[in-house]
Amino acid sequence: MSHDVKANLIFNPKWDDTVAHRTIIKWNTTWLFNLNSTKYTRAKSMYQIMIWNFWVPEKVKWLWEDAIQFKSLSPEEQRAYKWILSFLIFLDSIQTVNLPNFNDYITAPEVNLILSIQAYQEAIHSQSYATILETVVPSDLRDEIYYFWRSDKHLLERNEFIWWIYQDFINNPTEENLFRWIIWNFLLESIYFYNWFAFFDTLASQTKMVATDRMINYIRRDELTHVTIFANIIKDIKKEFPHIYNEWIIKDMMWVAVDQEIKWSKHILWNRIIWMSEESVENYTRWLANGRLAMLWITPLYPNIITNPFKHLEALQDNNSEKWNFFESTVTNYTQSSSMKWSWDF
């Protein structure tokens, strides 16, 4: 039987903050952010990386050059550029709204803190897309891009599917729906962005829309930390609440996510973007899924897919020599985090 779960109190003076008893969900604390007394120490490292990686869209220069170049893109490239932005705008918009609701059910203050930073980063991403549209895309196309889902049933179906899993828990807050909510956050952050990041990398590899790709690089750097956050939450659930954890649900939801991503890519790319064939996108999505499941110590869904078909794009994904351990549940930023001498342990 799946029991109901309740949102956190804002303040609970009758409880205590004993670290030894703390759990990732379903625990009562005072809700005081005593960050010198933490259980999930990895959240401290993640906090440092996320803060140190702070950026704003204004950091990216020369977008005006992309505005000139946009006019010379092929019709297929222009179409993909616009509709991919439309989907990315939705993903970051819904996460900005979703994460505060999700945070109400996490009962570890140190994890609450990094989820709050994530919500802020999602808002920055939304601002980034607005900056791209304002600078690169002709003004008469902007509303069409924002609201493409109103005229394209395929995108509307994708958006509604994502929204409904989140909304279903809010309407019916059971343990099983909470687990599905957590898994879908992981899938959104770990699967749904990356074909589209690869599209911008593909253009940049041909010296097209290079400033846009630079913006995407900053967004990707943030998203990889978000993947790690949710991978760790899932593993905490498995350890602390084995009756809630369900590997079958994870695999089933991953299969759905991969299927949706492949269908959407065929609809958007039409097999007409150089170096992004239907086969390469399918294999990349499945390769990505295998790697994401490996983060959770789950065997691959697609054991025959063992290589990254977009490996030639890796040099473009190296953001100022900031190296990410792509499929591990830790994030390492050798350039920045290794030089940080401060922590929560003042």
> Which ranges of the chain would DSSP assign to H, the alpha helix?
42-52, 63-70, 75-103, 109-136, 142-146, 153-171, 175-190, 194-205, 210-240, 247-269, 278-295
Rounded CA separation 264/257 (Å): 11
- Amino acid identity of residue 223, one-letter, is E
Rounded CA separation 31/157 (Å): 38
Rounded CA separation 29/12 (Å): 7
Please indicate whether residue 147 is annotated as part of the active site: no
Burial class (CB in 10 A: 0-12, 13-18, 19+), 184: buried
Rounded CA separation 145/137 (Å): 10
Is the distance from CB of 160 to CB of 94 less than 8 angstroms? Answer: no
Rounded CA separation 308/311 (Å): 5
Q: Which of 129, 194, 245, 284 is catalytic?
A: 129
b/e string for 313-344 if b means 16 or more Cβ within 10 A? beebbebeebebeeeebebebeeebeeeeeeb
Angle (CA) 136 57 96, round 5°: 105
Is the distance from CB of 293 to CB of 300 less than 8 angstroms? Answer: yes
Is the distance from CB of 261 to CB of 154 less than 8 angstroms? Answer: no
Q: Tell how far CA 342 is from the center of its chain.
A: 27
| 275 DSSP assignment | T
Catalytic residue set: 129
